[in-house]
Every structure is written in structure tokens, then in C-alpha cells.
Amino acid sequence: MDHEAILSGLFRTEHRKITAVLVRYFGFEHIETAEDIVSETFLSASENWRIKGPPENPAAWLYTVAKNKAKDHLKRDAIFNQKVQPALQNEQHFNDEREIDLSEKNINDSQLQMMFAICQPVIPTEAQIGLALRILCGFSIDEIADAFLTNKETINKRLHRAKEKLRTLKVKIAFPAGNEIDKRLETVLLTLYLLFNEGYYSNNGNTNLRKELCLEAMRLNYLLIENSQTDVPAVNALFSLMCLHASRFDARTDQQGEIILYDDQDSSLWNDELITRGTNYLVRAAHGDQLSRYHIEAAIAYWHTRKTPSPEKWESILQLYNKLLIMEYSPMAALNRTYALAKAKGNAAAIIEAEKLTQLTGNPLYHSLLGHLYKEIDNAQALLHLNSALKLTKVRSEKNRIEKNIIALKQLMH
């Protein structure tokens, strides 16, 4: 394997670790300095390895260079040293290499603490996700812009404002006190949930599914499970939900990247290992007396992984959606409920409920579902909704799927 391939793999796995440790060490006040040091480390690796070849232990090489660059930076910049040194948590000097601790435990602790520091209700949700992708997942600005369907300038401004807010509020990169964990954990879980959804229901113009976003959300979620203070039912429920959704990745899109609807998925492609894992974490989440939205959504996802059709399957899913909407109403959850209602009670009953969701008339998924529900009940109405969905959707592969459905429906009408 050449040095570029090795470095590319290490960038995805090690960039985020070194960044989290250095940002935690320097604090949000000097986050750009920490990011610059990490970038310089990987640039040095690229230049050095191109000439000499990769070292025997590439990750250890990166850690050593990052530590040295951090110490060199402070030594050659006395003003910076004077400003930062009093603010450092341990108020010690950088002459002890152990102070920049890149052990596995400290990396995990740093990522956990960064997670709680980033997920602040005082900054917009999109900025929370953006910072998580940048600092905790090692995504480039281009990749983040791609995930949000926007440009680099917008992302840079968004992240800059978020960092300034964190600096102004003097947010500490530290694990919350015991009585604060539950309150702060809600925001952390919501950020991870939205990060996973950003990948699972991608609005990217080229793809319907971005697995890398989903996998990063799962990785960060699992860090919470590994920590005894955050290994609570809601965390396990969210991880269960992610595993169960991820189990159907390979069956959810075809070779052209087009979404395969649930009824048409090849269940033999579902990942049984992830289904088992998700089910086990759902059982773990059942301890205690608190029921979160993640419990209910994980239970819905569990029923979707039951391969053998049964009368209770869709009725169970329908009742779970009813509970979810009572707990926390959202138009999209209500739209998903209408699909379950169609499976349990028939399309006619589902159409009545779907047409009440007038706030979704600008959403392509709303019209796609109604196009499906109206088929063979009122094909003219079905065609109207499919044409509306085609105009509204931004995803090229989804446009292709809708166009095929329109052609098939027109053939049926004639």
C-alpha cells in the first residue's frame, strides 16, 4: 500500500483523535491553533513519507509529531504562551510530554468531553452537528458543506460563529457534574440522532444515503455507552435504533443509488448481526422507568426488521407511532404513521389521515406517499402527487425513481 493510501486511512481515524485532545488541551479560545497543528502534522507526514516511506507505526509517528509541534508552537510564541498558560487546566508547562496525552483512554475522554462542550443549546443545531463533524469526526469543510447541501463559505461562517459563541460563554471542555449530565445528555443525544438522520435521509444531490455520517454517529454514541456515567437507557435505545436502521443499509438502495422502498427490499441483504446487536441494546434500554422517543423509535425499527409477515407487525408499528406522536409530535412521524396505517387498515384509511398533514405539502416524501396510496384508488390523483414529488425533490436518484413510477402509472391508466 502506498503512503497516500495509508495516510488517507489514518486521516479518517486519527485526525479526529488528535484534534479532540489538542482542542481540549488548548480550550475553545485557541481552537484554530489546535486545528492548524493537526493539519501541519498530516502535511509533514505527506511530505516525509513520500520521500522516506511510511514508518513502522504510522499512528505513533503522527502522535509524536503532533506533540512536538504543539510544544514548539508555544516555545516560539511567547505572547501566546503567556495567554494560554494560565488558562490550562493543569497550569503546568509543556516540557513534560505526558501532558499531551494521546493514550486511548485520554482520547476517548477528550472526545466525550468535547461532545458535551459542542452540544450546547445556545448554538444552532446545524452548528452543533457541523462542529461534531469537524472536531469529533475529522470531516473536511468540503465534506460538511456537501452534507448540508451548501457551500464552504456558509459552513466556515457557521462554524466561526459557533466557536465565537463558545469562546464568549467561556464554555469549559469538561465532563458535566453528576446532576448536570442528564440535562446535557439530552442535547448530546439529539445531536447524534440528527447526525445519523443527516446520513440516513440524505438530501445530498447525488445520494440518498451517506453511510459515513451514520457510522460516525454510531461511533460517538458507543463512546457514551462505554462510559459508566452515560451508559443510561436512552443512550442504549438510540444505539439500538441506529443499529436496526443500519442493518438495512445494503437493501435500501440499488446499484444506481436509488432508494428501494421497504416492501421491495431483499430481506436476505439485511445484516443479521446488526439486527441482533440492535435487539440486544433495546433489551438493555428497557431497564429503569424512563421512556424516551428513542425507545419508541427503536421498537418501530425492531418491528421493521421482522422478516416474517404477521398480523401483529403493522398493528404494533401503528400503535408505537401513536405513542410517539403523543410524546413528541412531528409532521414527519405522522407521515410515517400513515404508511403503517395503510399496511394495517388499508390505503383508503391512510389517505384520509395523510391529507390532514397540510404542513407537508412542500415535502416530496408527502407527495410520493400519497402517489403510492392513491394508486388504483384514484390514478389521476396518484399522478398529480407523483408529478408534485418530482418537482420538489432535489436528489437525482430519487427523481429517477419517481419518473419510473410515473411511467408505470401512465401505462396502467392506458
Q: What is the pLDDT of residues 283-332, one digit of tens each?
A: 999 998 889 999 999 999 999 999 887 779 999 999 999 999 999 999 99
Q: Which grid coordinates are listed for 65? A: 509529531
Arithmetic mean of pLDDT over the chain: 88
**pLDDT number for residue 310:** 79
Is residue 209 scored above 70 in pLDDT? Answer: no
CB distance 266 to 258 below 8 Å: no
pLDDT higher than 90, residue 351: yes
Q: Give 252-286 pLDDT, tens digit per residue.
A: 988 877 788 898 999 999 999 999 999 999 999 99
Res. 204: pLDDT tops 60: no
- Whether residue 90 is predicted with pLDDT greater than 80 in this model: the reply is no
233 vs 89: which has the higher pLDDT: 233
Query: What gap in Å lies between CA 188 and CA 4, rounded to an integer?
Result: 34
Which one, of 120, 112, 239, lies nearest residue 183 by Cα?
A: 120
pLDDT tens-digit profile of 32-73?
A: 999 999 999 999 999 999 999 999 999 999 999 999 998 887
| One-letter identity of residue 162 | A
pTM of the predicted model as reported, rounded to 2 decimal places: 0.85
Long-range contacts of 397-400 (CB under 8 A, 24+ apart): 397/206, 397/207, 397/208, 397/253, 397/256, 397/257, 397/258, 397/259, 398/208, 398/258, 398/259, 398/364, 400/256, 400/258
Find where cell 454510531 sits.
218
Give the per-residue pLDDT at 78. Answer: 53
Statement: residue 19 has pLDDT above 90: yes
pLDDT band at 96 (very low <50, low <70, confident <90, very high): very low
Provide the pLDDT confidence category of residue 87 given band limits of 50, 70 and 90: low
Give percent of the chain with pLDDT exceeding 70: 92
Residue 23 has pLDDT above 50, yes or no: yes
Confidence of residue 30 (pLDDT cuts 50, 70, 90): confident
Per-residue model confidence (pLDDT) at position 81: 54
Report the pLDDT value the prediction gives residue 93, as an integer from 0 to 100.
Answer: 42
Element at 284 (helix H, strand E): helix 272-285
Does residue 220 carry a pLDDT above 60?
A: yes
Based on the number of CB atoms within 10 Å of its own CB, is 272 exposed (0-12), middle (13-18) or buried (19 or more)?
Answer: exposed
Confidence of residue 210 (pLDDT cuts 50, 70, 90): confident
Contact (Cβ atoms closer than 8 angstroms) between residue 274 and residue 213 = no
Instruction: Encode pLDDT of 127-157 as tens digits.
Output: 999 999 888 888 889 888 877 778 999 999 9
Between 73 and 188, where is the model more confident?
188
Amino acid at position 267, single letter: S
Task: Please indicate whether residue 70 or residue 207 has the higher confidence score (pLDDT).
Answer: 70
pLDDT of residue 277: 98
- For the cut 90, the answer to whether the pLDDT of residue 202 exceeds it is no
Task: Average the pLDDT over 216-244 and give the result.
Answer: 95
Band (82; pLDDT cuts 50, 70, 90)? low
Give the pLDDT band (50/70/90) at residue 4: confident
Confidence of residue 389 (pLDDT cuts 50, 70, 90): very high
- pLDDT at position 253, please? 85
